[in-house]
Chain A
Amino acid sequence: MIFESFSDFLAMGKHGLFVWSAYGICLAVLAINIASPLLARRRYLQQEARRLRRESNT
Chain B
Amino acid sequence: MNTSAKAKSGISWAWFHKLGSPKWFYGISGRLVPWLSVAAALLIGIGVVWGLAFAPPDYQQGNSFRIIYIHVPSAMLAQSCYVMLAVCGVVGLVWKMKMADVALQCAAPIGAWMTALALVTGAIWGKPTWGSWWVWDARLTSMLILLFLYFGLIALGNAITNRDSAAKACAVLAIVGVVNIPIIKYSVQWWSTLHQGATFSLTEKPAMPAEMWLPLLFTALGFYCFFGAVLLLRMRLEVLKRESRASWVKEEVLKSLGHVSSQPTSRKGAGQ
Question: Which residue numbers of A lie inside 8 Å of B, CB to CB?
Answer: 1-3, 9, 12-16, 18-19, 21-23, 25-26, 29-30, 32-34, 37-38, 40-42, 44-46, 48-50, 52
Contact = CB atoms under 8 A, between A and B. Distances in A.
B183 interface: no
A2 B54 contact: yes
Given A2-B54, A3-B53, A52-B254, 14 more contacts: A15-B62, A16-B63, A18-B64, A18-B67, A19-B67, A22-B71, A25-B117, A26-B70, A26-B117, A32-B113, A41-B240, A44-B237, A44-B241, A49-B261
Nearest to B257: A49
Given A2-B57, A42-B260, A45-B260, A37 B121 contact: no
Nearest to A37: B233
B70 A2 contact: no
Contacts of A18: 64, 67, 124-125, 127-128
B241 A30 contact: no
Interface in B215-272: 226, 230, 233-234, 236-237, 240-241, 253-254, 256-257, 260-261, 264
A29 B117 contact: yes
Contact of B63 (A19, A30, A33, A49): A19
Contacts of B67: 18-19, 22-23
A1 B54 contact: yes
A19 B120 contact: no
Interface bin, chain B: 35 or more
Contacts of A9: 52-53
Tell me if B's interface is mostly helix, strand, loop or mixed. Answer: helix
A22 B120 CA distance: 8
A46 B64 CA distance: 46
B240 A21 contact: no
Contacts of A30: 44, 226
Interface in B32-73: 44, 48, 52-57, 62-64, 66-67, 70-71
Contacts of B70: 22-23, 26
A3 to B, nearest CB: 7
A15 B68 CA distance: 13
B178 interface: no
A48 B253 contact: yes
Given A15-B64, A19-B67, A45 B256 contact: yes
A15 B128 contact: yes
B57 A13 contact: yes
13 contacts: A2-B55, A3-B53, A9-B52, A18-B64, A19-B67, A22-B70, A25-B121, A26-B117, A30-B226, A34-B233, A37-B234, A41-B240, A48-B257
